């Protein structure tokens, strides 16, 4: 059992860098929380403060309701898995996994039992007598996880644990860690810069930028209701299309204008723009690639939201195609079903799914309506 509470946590490094600003988060017992953001946004610093490897400049860290700011790392009941594994190359797999328990003077029989159980969970029982040097990257990663599991910690912290693995193995290990979480039923806090990893693994995702939390949400809500342009473009590949458009009132309708093209907004979004005084102003229109359609049924359904442009590039991905085009110097990408009668240079008609348009303030880049 472990819940965590981070209250107004700051980290100022000597020399003046404020790596983490006013970080507030409640983590429930058994939750899988992922901290994600570009390099340098303060993810590792946050994780290291939770582990006790980095001093908290100000704020409070509570584990199961108990203030632990001044508790030594070894007494926090937390295990950390790093990207470089930090295994002892001259020891066997068994010795590596047993090492921490030995230091803690755990009885021999108990050590053996726990290592074997962890090895069984990770399916590395047959490797226990091997030397670390004789293992592949994926096997080493399992040993590193095993070493954390045997300690039976209340909380697992993982700092980019898969970043040294090749793409295929990374995908496999991603699934394994999700399974591991289900089996162990412990709290996991996981750091990555990879949004796909975050989206597939986390039950809740904390998006960070420049030391500040941007948004904390489930993957689905993050995808559908980003709070600002940064989150909107950080989550999802290819990233959300963004264009500067002008808001116009035409009779009862509210339109977004891009050059000679207009997108008529559904009533709910139109009302929000009007209420907050955006008529005749410039805003940012966001639309995900999969919400720009070329199929006749959508062209009909969104006939007030049509744009046309010659195709710049087509990427055939098998199950889908990415089609790139440019309107008013803004490049767009659309994710459509693969078709064979589509050629670069052809003028193509697309419908913007106006129900799925996100509108951001041009200056603050905060969401106006999703
Ligand atoms: P992330 O894990 O998101 O890549 P970090 O937490 O490692 O980011 O770093 C956040 C910021 O703090 C960066 O600007 C980084 O340069 C700075 N930083 C990290 N560690 C130290 C340190 N030991 N001393 C000074 N600045 C540091």
pLDDT mean over 105-121: 93
Question: Ligand 1 centroid vs 210 CA: distance in angstroms?
Answer: 10
Per-residue pLDDT of 81-96, as tens digits, reads 887 777 898 899 999 9
Question: Ligand 1 centroid vs 14 CA: distance in angstroms?
Answer: 11
How confident is residue 295, by pLDDT bands cut at 50, 70 and 90? very high
Query: Does residue 45 line the site of ligand 1, with CB under 6 A?
Result: yes
The ligand 1 atom nearest the CA atom of 208:
3
Contact 95, 88 (CB under 8 A): yes
Which of 311, 308, 303, 323 lies closest to 263, judged by CA? 303
CA 83 to chain centre: 17
How confident is residue 16, by pLDDT bands cut at 50, 70 and 90? confident
Question: Ligand 1 centroid vs 56 CA: distance in angstroms?
Answer: 14
Query: Does residue 48 line the site of ligand 1, with CB under 6 A?
Result: no
Per-residue pLDDT of 303-318, as tens digits, reads 999 999 999 999 999 9
Q: Is 82 exposed, middle or buried (0-12, 13-18, 19+ CB in 10 A)?
A: middle
Calculate Rg over the CA atoms of the chain. Answer: 25
Q: What is the pLDDT of residue 214?
A: 98
At residue 239, the 3 state secondary structure works out as coil
Residue of minimum CA distance from atom 24 in ligand 1: 13
Which of 230, 202, 195, 236 lies closest to 214, judged by CA? 230
Question: Ligand 1 centroid vs 278 CA: distance in angstroms?
Answer: 39
The ligand 1 atom nearest the CA atom of 13:
25
Question: Ligand 1 centroid vs 21 CA: distance in angstroms?
Answer: 12
pLDDT mean over 161-182: 87
Distance CA 2, CA 8 (A): 20
Query: Does residue 55 line the site of ligand 1, with CB under 6 A?
Result: no
The ligand 1 atom nearest the CA atom of 38:
3
Among 85-94, 189-198, 240-249, the least confident range: 85-94
Per-chain mean pLDDT for the chain: 94
Question: Ligand 1 centroid vs 211 CA: distance in angstroms?
Answer: 9
Per-residue pLDDT of 126-162, as tens digits, reads 999 999 999 988 889 889 989 988 988 999 999 998 8
Which of 323, 322, 303 lies closest to 312, judged by CA? 323
Among 114-128, 166-180, 288-302, the least confident range: 166-180
């Amino acid at each position: 059992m472990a819940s965590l509470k981070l209250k107004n946590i700051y980290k100022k490094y000597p020399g003046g860098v404020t790596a983490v600003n006013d970080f507030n988060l409640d983590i429930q017992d058994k939750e899988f929380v992922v901290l994600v953001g570009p390099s340098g946004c303060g993810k590792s610093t946050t994780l290291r403060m939770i582990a006790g490897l980095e001093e908290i400049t100000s704020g409070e860290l509570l584990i199961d309701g108990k203030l632990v700011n001044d508790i030594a790392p070894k007494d926090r009941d937390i295990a950390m898995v790093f990207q470089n594994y930090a295994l002892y190359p001259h020891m066997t797999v068994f010795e590596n996994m047993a090492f921490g328990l030995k230091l803690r003077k755990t009885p021999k029989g108990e050590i053996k039992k726990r290592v074997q159980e962890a090895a069984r969970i990770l399916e590395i029982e047959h490797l226990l007598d091997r030397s670390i040097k004789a293992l592949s990257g994926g096997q080493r990663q399992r040993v590193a996880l095993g070493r954390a599991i045997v300690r039976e910690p209340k909380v697992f912290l993982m700092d980019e644990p898969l970043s040294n693995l090749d793409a295929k193995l990374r995908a496999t290990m991603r699934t394994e860690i999700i399974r591991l979480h289900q089996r162990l039923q412990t709290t996991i806090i996981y750091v990555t810069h990879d949004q796909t990893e975050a989206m597939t693994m986390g039950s809740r995702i904390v998006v960070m930028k420049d030391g500040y939390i941007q948004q904390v949400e489930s993957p689905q809500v993050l995808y559908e209701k980003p709070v600002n342009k940064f989150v909107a473009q950080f989550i999802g590949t290819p990233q959300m299309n963004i264009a500067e458009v002008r808001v116009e009132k035409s009779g009862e309708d509210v339109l977004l204008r891009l050059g000679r093209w207009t997108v008529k907004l559904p009533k709910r979004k139109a009302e929000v723009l009007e209420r907050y005084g955006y008529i005749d102003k410039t805003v940012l229109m966001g639309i995900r690639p999969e919400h720009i359609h070329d199929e006749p049924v959508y062209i009909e359904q969104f006939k007030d939201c049509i744009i046309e442009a010659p195709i710049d590039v087509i990427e055939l991905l098998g199950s889908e195609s990415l089609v790139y085009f440019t309107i008013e110097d803004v490049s767009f990408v659309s994710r459509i079903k693969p078709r064979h009668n589509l050629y670069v240079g052809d003028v193509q008609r697309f419908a913007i799914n106006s129900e799925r348009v996100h509108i951001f303030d041009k200056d603050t880049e905060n969401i106006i309506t999703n």
